[in-house]
Structure 1
Amino acid sequence: MKTVLITGTSSGIGRAAAARLARRPDLTVYATARKTAAIEDLAATGAQMLPLDVTDEASMTAAVAEIERRHGQVDVLVNNAGYGEYGPIEEADIDRVRRQFETNVFGLARLTQLVLPGMRRAGRGRIVNISSMGGRLVFPGGGYYHASKYAVEAISDALRQEVRPFGIEVSIVEPGLIRTGFGAVAGESLGANPSGPYRGLVAAVDRAMTKSYANPALAATPDAVAKVIERAVTARRPHTRYIVTGAARALVHTRRLLGGRAFDAINRVQFR
């Protein structure tokens, strides 16, 4: 049985992935959250519970050490923990931006460092990093969030090449709009000065986000991402990238084909 460590399972994509993977007889899944009380109900799916805060060194070290004590190594790491801090570049609270990077980037990187020695000793392993279509394109008002996901993409691409000789695979999952609490949290963080120069842009971004997340043709459920994570975890030869939702694939390819200025023009129409 392979051991799977998933971060950020208290809600949304992480919770759906933990529940789906824990039902597989070939996997022992460790669902984690800062407070295990938030994920106790996942025990009914067969998942094991561990406290884990990806912004705390002692917490990360203890979680990995406990799995290695029980099983020898972490076979699969799913770096899912993350959230969106939105707002204009000029007006965003830089301390909040730092906290976002601690979770989205530095926590992911440090936990990866902690599991890799065990994976190398075993001669096998798999790391699945949850990025976003926002790691391939940028919308106004989300620059700092997008920057964190671009960082995840770069780390993953370098890591994949570095660890392949040790039998370790690295995949990136890039969801589009997913109906979780993400949209609400991102909307709350917009918070521009109500009398400032970006108030019109912020209002337009807020309207567009609300409308898009409410549209079932654009936004999928967390389980749609969980199914893709399952493929990335269990495939004999996993893809380097998995884009989730048709709308996300269309946007990513549109940005790639049209280039920066044309995509900017589309955004000006959408967020006017």
Structure 2
Amino acid sequence: MTTALITGASSGIGARAAALLVEQGLTVFGAARNTDAVAAIGGVTPVALDLTSDDSIRSAVATVTKAAGTVDVLINCAGYGEFGSLEETSLDAARQQLEVNVVGAVGLVQALLPGMREAGHGRIVNVSSLAGEFAAPLGGWYHASKFALEALSDSLRGEVSQFGIDVTLVQPSYVATDWHDTAMEHLDQTSGRGPYASMAAAMRRYFGSPALAKQMSTPDAVAELIVKAALTPRPRTRYRIGAGANVAVAMATLLPDRTFDALTRKQFGYAA
């Protein structure tokens, strides 16, 4: 039976993906700081994990491998958004963003790759975002974390394919979870007052608009795509989901930078 380890399994997309993996017949370990929430998901074994701690990462992997042997599928789903202007975001907050969204995910990859290589197979699914394809104001460190995850996944894919291990990315656009609430809390704390306050207020209005709510993907839809990326025999390198996702990436790629900047300002309602 295939064994999967998924991070961020205590809520939202990660919790739903963990449940779907169980329905597919996998042995599923759900990693999070809140293990009580993971334990409430039927069939999922909770594993304590703090992605900012090397000791915690090693302990989590040791717990899973002792119980199940080789992990066949790793899904890095944990993450959050550190929003605020680059000028005002503390470097400690920036480091925390990179530790959780990038460095911790790579730590799990490093810990699990030897077993996957020895087994001659494996699947690594890194949950990124459209934010890893282009950047907008007030989300610089979040975008940086997703750009990094995208680049590392591409490098890793080329390194481990020789061992029968595949690496794929899932890139959601806006999703109807409390992720946005947390991101806006960080935005208010960092840039709710001061020189970027009007820009921050415009972003809050945008994320709170009924029009955006209608465009959001459901957690179930994103979780189903993650499970597809994890289990399909020959996965694509990237799976995008969300209204207009492919168009947005194409525009960011093909339009001149300043033209895309202007469209971004218009989208979020920023003053020119």
1:33 aligns with 2:32: yes
Alignment match, 2:235: 238
Alignment match, 2:202: 204
Cα distance in structure 2, aligned partners of 1:207 and 1:35 = 31
Between the two proteins, the alignment pairs up a number of residues equal to 268
Cα distance in structure 1, aligned partners of 2:266 and 2:238 = 29
Give the direction of change, closer, same or farther, for the CA distance of 1:84–1:212 in structure 2 (3 Å limit): farther
- 1:197 is paired with a residue whose SS is coil
- Residue identity matched to 1:207: R
User: Contact (CA 8 Å) 2:4, 2:29: kept in 1 or not?
Assistant: yes
- Residue identity matched to 2:202: A
- 2:253 is paired with a residue whose SS is helix
Equivalence map 1:212-231=2 (5 Å) = 214-216=212-214, 218-231=215-228
- Residue identity matched to 1:23: E
- 1:82 is paired with a residue whose SS is coil
TM-score (norm 2): 0.94
- What is the CA-CA distance between 1:249 and the residue it aligns to? 2.2
**Aligned CA-pair RMSD:** 1.5
Cα distance in structure 2, aligned partners of 1:193 and 1:36 = 33
User: Contact (CA 8 Å) 1:33, 1:52: kept in 2 or not?
Assistant: yes
Alignment match, 2:17: 17
Cα displacement string for residues 13-36 of structure 1 (whole angstroms, at most 9, x for unaligned residues): 1111101111112x1111121131
User: Contact (CA 8 Å) 1:177, 1:213: kept in 2 or not?
Assistant: no
- What is the CA-CA distance between 1:78 and the residue it aligns to? 0.2
User: Contact (CA 8 Å) 1:177, 1:248: kept in 2 or not?
Assistant: no
1:141 aligns with 2:135: no
- Residue identity matched to 1:153: E
User: Contact (CA 8 Å) 2:94, 2:141: kept in 1 or not?
Assistant: yes
- What is the CA-CA distance between 1:195 and the residue it aligns to? 5.0
Cα distance in structure 2, aligned partners of 1:166 and 1:242 = 23
- The unaligned stretches of length 5 or more in structure 1 are none
User: Contact (CA 8 Å) 1:183, 1:209: kept in 2 or not?
Assistant: yes
Cα distance in structure 2, aligned partners of 1:79 and 1:248 = 21
Equivalence map 1:1-272=2 (5 Å) = 1-25=1-25, 27-42=26-41, 44=42, 46-191=43-188, 192-193=190-191, 195-211=193-209, 214-216=212-214, 218-270=215-267, 271-272=269-270
- 1:177 is paired with a residue whose SS is coil
- Residue identity matched to 2:7: T
- 1:103 is paired with a residue whose SS is helix
Cα distance in structure 2, aligned partners of 1:28 and 1:209 = 37
- Residue identity matched to 1:188: E
- What is the CA-CA distance between 1:170 and the residue it aligns to? 0.0
- The unaligned stretches of length 5 or more in structure 2 are none
- 1:185 is paired with a residue whose SS is helix
User: Contact (CA 8 Å) 2:216, 2:243: kept in 1 or not?
Assistant: no
- What is the CA-CA distance between 1:257 and the residue it aligns to? 2.2
